[in-house]
Structure 1
Amino acid sequence: MTTPHQATPAAAKKKLPPGALKAYIASLTGTSLEYYDFAIYSVASALVFPKIFFPVGDEFVGLLLSFSTFAVGYLARPIGGILFGRLGDKIGRKHVLVTTLLLIGIATVLIGALPDYAVIGIAAPIILVLLRLAQGIGVGGEWGGAVLLSSEFGDAHKRGFWSSAAQIGPPAGNLMANGVLAVLAATLSTEAFLSWGWRVAFLASAVLVVFGLLIRLKLDETPVFKAILAHGEQPKAPIKEVFTKEPRALVAAALSRVGPDVLYSLFTVFVAVYATRELGMTTSNVLAAILIGSAFQLVLIPAAGALTDRINRRLVYGIAAVGTAVYIPLFFLMVEGKSVLMLTVGVVIGLALHAFMYGPQAAYITEQFPPRLRYAGSSLAYTLAGVIGGAIAPLVFTALYAASGNWYLIAGYLAVASIVTIIGLALGRDPQTQEEERLLQDARA
């Protein structure tokens, strides 16, 4: 692996590119909403929905049904990736991102207002699935555009840092969501939390939607897309071109996501079930551990992205993937003593490993595609990987643990996911900024 371009001392002293900071905030806000929704749905699917939307009599079956609705959000993402990825390369980043933000936010608020099974019967889980479907479609188009928003306003030679804005969304969203849920769980009785308390977290997302819209509506289109328009180089059929002209890039980008997706699902979804049911810990114990781990990620993700602007991006990413495979057995051994402290330390380390893959991930994925196909290519890679990674991970974790009664198969599953990521990194390429620089120079001329 070759070392990517390093910024010169003169370049390092330059002022921030125009609009870069505002774009960074806009990207961060949107993905924070996305993962705020993701986090509250993750926790609710493990602790709340089996009781109020899937009261089938068998607790395990109810949990599987609830996790199935969780998976629907991932399975719907390729639809959003195709629909919005195509539009993002044809009409621009800004307009698409306003639409995806609204779609995600409205669906989440409606989940918070949805009557449960005891009130409207079978219609309740059906509507829940449809709203989760809408969330997934919105998310499928959100991520690729959010990454391009911050990275295309920023310095191409510091894409690891600028692209990390979208990646800070998961811990920021997790922090907000788990903070809200922890307060609700600590201040309400179990009956009140299951009856109406959990709904407060979903309804509160309306605040993020309004804030995100105010920022995005004031943003200009990215300089890179403006240059593409000026040259008349926007693709007529971006999805088709990605599949026919960039198949290796698509495979490399998609496979690189699998390990981080599965790892994140372990520490933010399955651990909530494992710690409460098998280790006898309280919901508050688990939420606090995830909260602390997410707080560390707020710093580690941009730091990891910035590090890979100086050290080979694929190398840093790959080392973290190998570390994941080695660490998972150690994590389960750490928590066997049922210590809340060890659980917290274990989750923090696990999410730190995730940060060193997830921080540079956005830059790595977008760098696999030429500027004119970035939105479609990045969105497809992100969403297709989600189907084989995060979508099925909670179901696989639950099924493997139920079948074996121990964590060995789960550790094996993480090892396989890490190997898949390493293959994706081996197939990929290092940063190439020449085409983007040509577009911008020509547009200024």
Structure 2
Amino acid sequence: MSDADRPTGASRTALATLLGTTLEWYDFFLYGTAAALIFDKQFFPSLSPAAGTLAAFSTLAVGFVARPLGGLVFGHFGDRLGRRSTLVVSLVMMGLGSTLIGAVPSYDSIGLWAPVLLVVLRVVQGIGLGGEGAGATLMSMEHAPEGRRNLYAGFPQMGTPAGLVLANMVFLATNSLAGHATFTAWAWRIPFLLSFVLVGVGLVVRLRVTESPSFDRARQEDEVVRFPLAEALKTGLPRLAVTLLAVVANSAVAYVFMVFTLSYGTKHLGFDQQFLVLGVSAAAVLWFVSIPLWTAVADRKGRRTLFIGGSVAILLWCAVFFPLLDTGGRLPALLALAGMGLIIPVTHCVQGAIIADTFPVRVRYSGTSLVLQVGAVLGGGLAPMISSALLGPGGSSTGVTWYLVGMCALSLVGAVALFRMVPESPVGQARLVPEPAGEA
């Protein structure tokens, strides 16, 4: 029995993917928090507050647009050369991009070049994260013991809320120690520069992980294909379309909750910045701790009931989320945020495994990256910018609520269609093709 096949080897891989994705999402969410609260003043000072916020969120969206490119590049090499090496490169790219963002001069120093450099580095971040999401899920899932694929595929998903909490805590701690004026002037750069140290720690851990047993088996059996993306597209447009539709709402809702809420709550509802950041972080802790519970349910009962039930729940909560915030009270606001922290992970925790099981091992990285990253662009990448544009006179959130409810309704339709098209196997997996012998 190889090290990868032992439970300890699988557990070490799962924890390594969790650490790596946490660090990558730390970098990505740090940018989102700074875009909501800092970048309009640093890089777009000549614009009105509303226009500056929209411009800052536009640079956030650029990173999402770059993610499919990263997914395609890393997916291609991940299917041809292996998951492990591509994940090392993606971590380095993400950390380098974040570190350099911390060194970009402000608009007052170099004028238009400041936002230009910001966008270029945001593209580097997006490419790096585009290669991370699918690869980390596959590494953990393909090492999983039999009957625990959903649980192990959920470990990299835990990196999303963990990265958010880490980014927000470092952001708040730096703000508190430096003072608001100093933080706004230059100390906001410290959390970005810290990425260099954190990525070094992540690399030490990630380099100790063994290659995916599934990929090793495919390579030994000469199943590696020259153009994996082209092969993955043979899955067919209907299956790919409903899979994409099923997952797009979770991304949109998550980014409105994690990013847009900070801007909206401080600028239109008068909430204290620290209160909102702490509230979102507390909700992210609920998100983090509930993922293993939901993935264990999926392994026992199947993904279908969990995913469709979660799709209904997130639609209903989106209908009340902004009305609760709009009361202006702290208790209703905390209830709104906590609800998101408990409901978002129901679908988020298994969507990576659902997408991965759409494709055979030899093209799984390319296919999974394509669906994940296009879904991220259509959902999360545009959500804060669309939400800002949909605010009505006086900052009314009604348009944003209808936008989120509509996105959730589309995803619910996609989820129902997906599970009707591909019924689950007895262990809660919906597969396109049989896996090679020995695949969990």
Name the TM-score class by shorter chain: over 0.9
- Contact 2:319 2:405 survives alignment (8 Å): no
- Number of the residue aligned with 1:341: 331
TM-fit CA distance, 1:439: 5.3
Aligned to 2:301, which of 281, 297, 311? 311
- Number of the residue aligned with 1:356: 346
- Contact 1:72 1:129 survives alignment (8 Å): yes
CA distance, structure 1, for counterparts of residue 394 and residue 317 of structure 2: 20
- Number of the residue aligned with 1:395: 385
CA distance, structure 2, for counterparts of residue 437 and residue 307 of structure 1: 26
- State whether structure 2 residue 132 is matched by structure 1 residue 142: yes
- State whether structure 2 residue 391 is matched by structure 1 residue 427: no
Secondary structure in structure 2 of the residue aligned to 1:236: coil
The code of the aligned residue for 1:385 comes to G
**In structure 2, do the counterparts of structure 1 residues 367 and 98 end up closer, same or farther at CA, with 3 Å as the change threshold?**
same
The TM-score with structure 2 as length reference comes to: 0.93
Secondary structure in structure 2 of the residue aligned to 1:157: coil
- Number of the residue aligned with 1:264: 254
CA distance, structure 1, for counterparts of residue 406 and residue 338 of structure 2: 22
* Structure 2: 5+ residue stretches without partners: none
TM-fit CA distance, 1:440: 5.0
TM-fit CA distance, 1:109: 0.5
- Contact 2:60 2:381 survives alignment (8 Å): yes
- Contact 2:27 2:195 survives alignment (8 Å): yes
- Contact 2:147 2:299 survives alignment (8 Å): yes
CA distance, structure 1, for counterparts of residue 194 and residue 395 of structure 2: 38
TM-fit CA distance, 1:383: 0.7
TM-fit CA distance, 1:218: 1.7
Aligned to 2:312, which of 319, 322, 345? 322
Deviations 1:214-273 (A, max 9, x none): 122122211111110111011221111122334344323322221111111111111101
CA distance, structure 1, for counterparts of residue 393 and residue 225 of structure 2: 49
Secondary structure in structure 2 of the residue aligned to 1:368: coil
The code of the aligned residue for 2:288 comes to L
* Structure 1: 5+ residue stretches without partners: 1-14
The code of the aligned residue for 2:418 comes to L
Q: Tell me whether 350-359 or 203-212 shows the greater mean CA deviation.
A: 203-212
TM-fit CA distance, 1:85: 0.5
The code of the aligned residue for 1:54 comes to F
CA distance, structure 2, for counterparts of residue 62 and residue 214 of structure 1: 39
Give the number of equivalent residue pairs.
427
TM-fit CA distance, 1:412: 1.3
- Number of the residue aligned with 1:91: 81
TM-fit CA distance, 1:16: 5.1
TM-fit CA distance, 1:341: 2.5
Secondary structure in structure 1 of the residue aligned to 2:381: coil
- Number of the residue aligned with 2:264: 274
Identity %: 34
- Number of the residue aligned with 2:435: 436
Q: Tell me whether 121-130 or 210-219 shows the greater mean CA deviation.
A: 210-219
- Number of the residue aligned with 1:182: 172
**In structure 2, do the counterparts of structure 1 residues 437 and 415 end up closer, same or farther at CA, with 3 Å as the change threshold?**
same
Indicate the RMSD between aligned Cα atoms, in angstroms. 1.8
The code of the aligned residue for 1:435 comes to P
Correspondences of 1:139-288 after superposition (within 5 Å): 139-288=129-278
The code of the aligned residue for 2:96 comes to I
- Number of the residue aligned with 1:50: 40
CA distance, structure 2, for counterparts of residue 38 and residue 147 of structure 1: 18
- Contact 1:167 1:359 survives alignment (8 Å): yes
**In structure 2, do the counterparts of structure 1 residues 310 and 439 end up closer, same or farther at CA, with 3 Å as the change threshold?**
closer
- Contact 1:255 1:420 survives alignment (8 Å): yes
**In structure 2, do the counterparts of structure 1 residues 411 and 298 end up closer, same or farther at CA, with 3 Å as the change threshold?**
same
CA distance, structure 1, for counterparts of residue 69 and residue 43 of structure 2: 26
CA distance, structure 2, for counterparts of residue 332 and residue 423 of structure 1: 23
- Contact 2:285 2:341 survives alignment (8 Å): no
Q: Tell me whether 377-386 or 25-34 shows the greater mean CA deviation.
A: 25-34
Deviations 1:342-368 (A, max 9, x none): 212210111211111111111111111
- Contact 1:289 1:347 survives alignment (8 Å): yes
